[in-house]
Each structure stands twice: as structure tokens, then as C-alpha cells.
Structure 1
């Protein structure tokens, strides 16, 4: 067992998946700092929970992290976060946190640029990489009397999303969604006005909708070390995303077949940005011409990160190899993770019976059925070394709720996936 400890923020499936990766690779228990216990991290044998208290803000969270640092003085601590607002928390408080933690993130300037969808679009344009036609709408002056959204010079339908997600994530208002859609200019105008009334004062990116249902989606995750080398790369085809309004865009089932062309483009974008650390890209292939369009760059490992392990590439090994000396491992550790071969499997926290009914392509359905028969259909919470009847019950109850959500919000596959 290694002597270092991962320290994580949050309670969701992605946080548990990171803890599982570290436990599989090094046998270490992660310390998870959170406002409250939730199913994915509760009753776990691989996690030590530190509760800050419901409603705790940034000041209390940072204080709890510093307390963890002091209580574990002498043990190298690796700080990992996996949400937009948590990345910003680390950026704002890095000077206070760095004496206690190894922080495997790029500089604040690079992280801020990488999280901005306008920057991604401009970077892709320089590199000749496809992105949807888009128009930025700045809501900075939306509180002034007489403000009105500008006319949009785009082909409808469109999707609307904050250029930087963190501010929008913290807002609470009726009709909130992760991504908004509009089939007419009037509908887009209404969405922009609702966001303005809710208090959003950031840029909203309006993009022409790339057609095609969920299976046209692709995902790519990379780790770039401090020397600028990509030491981990994995990709896959989206099978099904969540469709509950505030969760749409979260990949729930991924076939880990490699996507070489998209991987090369992702690496080029990260080199252009001077990015280091974990990054996850959302991509959609236009069924009309087969061209991949880059939609989002998330400067973090992403919620469905356990798909990397299903592909045969444990992400914990990449970050530990990069910071081996700081983590007390005595020097460089080999990281033979970026190689052409990738294991084929399915990452899914949805049951096969549900995934199957949304796969409209017979060939793809047969491929995934073969994976299911060979038991390469993997649920991130189904960890043999972390069994507890209460966790088994949570997973079953969560599955029932997810099936209900699909019945309510996405009863049948659609041509757009929305």
C-alpha cells in the first residue's frame, strides 16, 4: 500500500469512481470532503468521509481541507476535484492549499481559458477542427433597463449553454436545465431572458444543433503531464446520456471502442492551450457528413471517468506517475498508459435492458449485446472489494429511479437526443 492519500471533494458517482481507481491501483483509502453523505460515497470501505455540514460555503470547505492537511501532516496528500465550481475554488485558494496538498492542475489562467467554450471554439478554428456554428451572447448588462437579447444569425434549431458553467451551476430557478434548446428565434429569446432574470451575467453560447441521437456522441479523456506529454488517452462512443433536465449531457453508458481521429484532435487542442492535467471532451459526429464536432472541454476528469478503467487505463496511475517525487514514491514512475490498443467494454450505471431499447442501430445493438454476454458491462459502483448490503440497496434503488427518469423525460429515442 502506498503512503500517500488522495483527497477528493464531492459526493457523486464521479468522486466514487476516482476513489475506486486509486484503491485498485495502490490500495489507498481516499479522504472525501463533502457537505453531506450521499449514496455513492456512503458506507464505503475505501473512503474516509469528512463532513463539512449541509449548506457549507467556500470558506468552510477550504477550512475543512486545511484541517485535513494539518491532521495528516507528514503524509503526502493529492487533491482532486471534479466539478466546475470546485475547480474554481482550487484556483482561488491555491496559495493557501499548496503547502498542504499536491495539486495536479494547470495554472489558473490555463484552467479558466480551457473551461470557456468561446476559447474552445476559437482554438478549434485555428486548428481546422470542426465545432458547431455559434454566436456568443453576453449577459453582463442584462440587468439594465431596456436590455434585450440580440438577434441571432444562426440556423435553427439551436442549443444554448453558459460559456463557463460554474456561475450557472450555482443558480436556482424554475425551468433550469444544463443545456437549453430552441427551435425558433422567439424561443431562444425567451431562454436568454429567463437566464438574465435568474441572475446570470456571463456569456451564453448559442450553437446550431448537430442532429443525431445519443449514439452520435463521442467522449475523450486525457492526462497531460507537466512536461506537456499526453500520458493517458482513452475514448469511446456514447450509448446513452441522462435526460433529466439538470443532468442532460452526462454520459450514462459508453462503449469503449477507440476513436483515433478524435483523440488526435483532442491532443492538438490541449497542446495549443498549453494544458496540463486531466481533460475531458464532449464530441458529436454529424450523421450528414460523418464529421466530428467538438462541443465542450471540461478541465477535469469528468463524471463518467470509470470508463477509462473499463478501457484498460487506470487514471490514478497517470497522475501519480507525474507527481511521484512529491507523493514520496522516490522518483519517476513509469506510465505506459498511452498506447494504441484499448480494451473494448461498456461503462454503464444503467441496466442493459434500458440501454438496449434506446439502441436503434441493429449492428451497434449486437456489438453491445456481445459485450454484455462476456461480462464486460461494468457498473462503477459494483466493486468487489467494497461490498456492503446498504450499498447494494442504494445501487438497486438508484437504478429504479433512473428508469423512472427515462420514462418521464425521454420515453423514446429522438433524432436529436433531446
Structure 2
């Protein structure tokens, strides 16, 4: 689905560049960004793992720069690589990071990158702190934003002390976002049932456990909500959207597989106030959990970049967060408008498996409308079919096996 009618014109002289580090070729968010700006006539470029990724085959892509990375390279090497791509593009381009590594690199090397690229100016240390579970928790405490109770053990003895006083079950997560590219302590969000289970796991975490131990928010007493927004240099939202997550993959612990746009003024105000207090500028993707036991929204994740499911959200003027950023950075007004309440987003290659898993668990989302007002598919688009077929070619076989391994590793996982 191409979206609603667009009531504005973008600057077609300023291209966009999708920036991603690491090996995750089946990334629908990057494809969505290429389509979103490409449909406006904006020339689009992308960093890809190779020439056979779905993004590389979009009709809206001018050129794919095949650059295999792990996300663990030295920052100087990544900056040099980005600058080399910028010179090949030949004119200033808007940077659109799709992962934390890219967002942090851009923030921490603004002076070098500003020569060839356009991006929001943000406090250099802020994206790294927001991407860290510990950094985010500390910011929430500092600014009075609800978040799950958490502990950050530095040694095995700290884990033992936590185990003596903890109320189980608890949740273990990797403390830093970047660790997933290296050797994570846990495979993902992991539910820990009791003291013995925790100590057994902790023996494999080494002398310095890189984990956060967090309060478990039972899914039967909670709802998963998402906020996507773009904030200007004054931390004022130029586009802000709220929605509810229906399903994720791995179940209750992974990326969004199915979601709806749902108006939530309380949640929008909470997100706006927090971003204002910390002074963030740019695109945000927030995950929050509404705890019915105390009636509070608890912030779980603050992604300082575009979220993979951002195309769920668009206002009546045709503005999504990627379009808002491009308009703002090129000096154009960002049109206002109501969000498309009731609109649905489906990630085809993971939603069927998620649906089956959720049916077995009996979990339902009370705020999801019975009938969507429209559906945006992550991969299928009538005006751009090649990414879907490329995805299917890569997904069948190794991709499906990877999906199965994710499910196996998350059988004891819970929602974030």
C-alpha cells in the first residue's frame, strides 16, 4: 500500500542514504524508508550487505553500496567508509540510520560527517546513553518517567546478592545494545523463573555480567504500546504517533509482527515531555508497557533512530517520521494532520508464526480494532514487488531455519 494522498512536495535535489551496520539483510524498515522518500521523487541510496538484499532491488533505489560490516568495527573505519560513500553520491544527503550502531556513530562524529551529510544535531553522548538499558533506566529515574525496577550486577557476587532478595520471575537482558553483534550474555529478553535458574545462567556470564536484571511485567496484566516521532532542534514534535503492538517475533520478546494505530493522548504527552526533558533531536522509536496493576506506562526501550515498523504511522497529509526528517532538514515545513487511527501494519514473513504462537498462549490485545481501516505490508507493495520476492528467496531455507532458532531460544522469553 503506497499510503494516503501526499499534500506536500519534498526537495528532490537532496537524496537520502540508508545507513546500517551489521549483517541483517532482511530488514523491512530500510525498504520502507526507500519507498517512503522514493515515492516523493527523492533519490535514494542504501548501504547493504551485498547486491542481493531486498533493499538493493527496490525500484526506488538509485544505488546500493555493498559494504559488509559487523557493527563492531573501529569508529574511524566506519566514518571513513561513510565519507567515501558520500563522495560517490556527490551531493549532501540526509542520513537515515536503521540501527543503534549507526545512530551512535553519527551522533559521536557529527563534525566529520557534517561536511557531506545532513542529520539532526543532537548531544553527542545522548544516543549511546539512550540505547543502553542502564543509561535509559538512569534517565527515567532522573526525570521521573516510570520504568521497570532494575538491577545492574557488576560481579557474580552481585548476582548472588540480587537472587537472595529478588521477587521471581525476573527478566534478563543484555545491558548494551551493541553486544548483540558480539557475544551476548543472553540470547534476548529471557524470563528467569527462580533463584537456581538465575545462578545457573549467571555462571556463564563471566566475571563482569553484561546484563540487566529487571522486574517482570506479566503479559496478562499488561499492554504493549509504541511511539514513533520526529523532534526538531528544540525537542518539539513535528510528527508524533501512537500505536499498540498486537504480536511480535520471537513471541512477546522481539520485533513487531503486527500492530495498529491507536490514538493515545496520555501516552503521546508522556513521550513528548520525556524527550523535551532530555533534549533529544531526531527520530525516536519507543516501546512502553502499560501495567494494569498500577495504571502506568513503563518505558522499556528508547531507540534513537527510525523503527522498522515506522510505515505503520502516517498523518492525513502523508507525513511519516522519515518524511518529516527529510522535510525539516531541507528547510521545508512539516504539514500537520491526524494519524490514521485503526491502520494496521503486518510483517508477512514473521506474522503467521507469531499468530500461531499467540493463539496457543491465549494472549489478546484489547485495544486492537476488530477491522483495520487499512493495511500496510512490510514487504508487499504493488508499485515495488521485487523486494518481496528477494526477501522470499533469502528467507526460505536459511532464513526460515534462523526463524526457528529464534523461536527455540525464546521459549522462556517474555515481553520486554
TM range, smaller chain: 0.7 to 0.9
CA separation of 1:27 and 1:384: change in aligned 2, threshold 3 A: farther
Q: 2:49 aligns with which of 35, 40, 43?
A: 35
Q: CA deviation at 1:380?
A: 1.9
Q: Counterpart in 2 of 1:160?
A: 172
Q: 1:133 to 1:406 in 2, by over 3 A?
A: same
Alignment deviations for residues 305-326 of structure 1 (CA, whole Å, 9 cap, x no partner): 222248964222311232124x
Q: Which one of the candidate residues 2, 24, 37 is aligned to 2:12?
A: 2
Distance change in 2, residues 1:402/1:209 (3 Å): farther
Give the corresponding residue for 1:179. Answer: 189
After superposition, give the CA deviation of every residue in 1:344-400 in whole Å (9 maximum; x if it has no partner).
Answer: 2111113776565536477859834x22xx6x2221222232233x74363487489
What is the CA distance between 1:203 and its match in structure 2?
5.0
| Aligned residue in 1 for 2:123 | 107
The counterpart of 1:345, out of the listed 336, 343, 346, is 343
Q: Cα 1:416–1:392, aligned 2, differ >3 Å: closer, same or farther?
A: same
Report how many aligned residue pairs link the two structures: 390
Q: Is the 8 A contact 2:70 2:181 kept in 1?
A: no
Distance 2:257 2:67 in 1: 29
Q: Please, what is the CA RMSD of the aligned residues?
A: 3.6
> Closer, same or farther in 2 for the Cα pair 1:299/1:318, shift >3 Å?
same
Q: CA separation in 1, counterparts of 2:59 and 2:262? A: 31
2:405 & 2:375 partners in 1: Cα distance? 23
Q: Is the 8 A contact 2:287 2:299 kept in 1?
A: yes
Aligned positions of 1:138-217 closer than 5 A: 138=154, 149-152=159-162, 153-166=165-178, 168-172=179-183, 176-196=186-206, 204-212=211-219, 216-217=223-224
CA–CA separation in structure 2 for the residues paired with 1:213 and 1:202: 30
Per the alignment, do residues 176 and 403 of structure 1 end up closer, same or farther by CA in structure 2, a change over 3 Å counting? same
Instruction: Provide the residue aligned with 1:328 in structure 2.
Output: none
Task: Please state if 1:134 is matched with 2:146.
Answer: no
Residues 1:214 and 1:98: Cα distance change in structure 2 (over 3 Å): farther
How do residues 252-331 of structure 1 correspond to structure 2 at under 5 angstroms?
A: 252-309=257-314, 313-325=319-331
Residue 329 of structure 1: aligned partner: none
Which ranges of structure 2 fall in alignment gaps of 5 or more residues?
1-10
Could you tell me which residue of structure 1 aligns to residue 3 of structure 2?
none
Please give the alpha-carbon distance, in whole angstroms, between the structure 1 residues aligned to 2:412 and 2:186.
21
1:62 aligned partner: 79
CA distance in 1, matches of 2:288, 2:301: 7
After TM superposition, give the deviation of residue 291 of structure 1 in Å.
Answer: 2.8
In 1, distance between residues paired with 2:287 and 2:221?
A: 12
- Cα gap change, 1:223 to 1:260, in 2 (>3 Å): same
Query: What is the TM-score normalised by the length of structure 1?
Result: 0.80
Q: TM-score, normalised by structure 2?
A: 0.80
Does the 8 Å contact 2:245/2:259 carry over to 1?
A: yes
CA distance, structure 2, for counterparts of residue 108 and residue 284 of structure 1 = 28
Separation in structure 1 between the aligned mates of residue 365 and residue 276 of structure 2, nearest angstrom: 36
- Unpaired runs of 5+ residues, structure 1, are 326-332
How far did residue 254 of structure 1 move?
Answer: 0.8
Distance in 1 (CA, whole Å) between partners of 2:393 and 2:344 is: 19
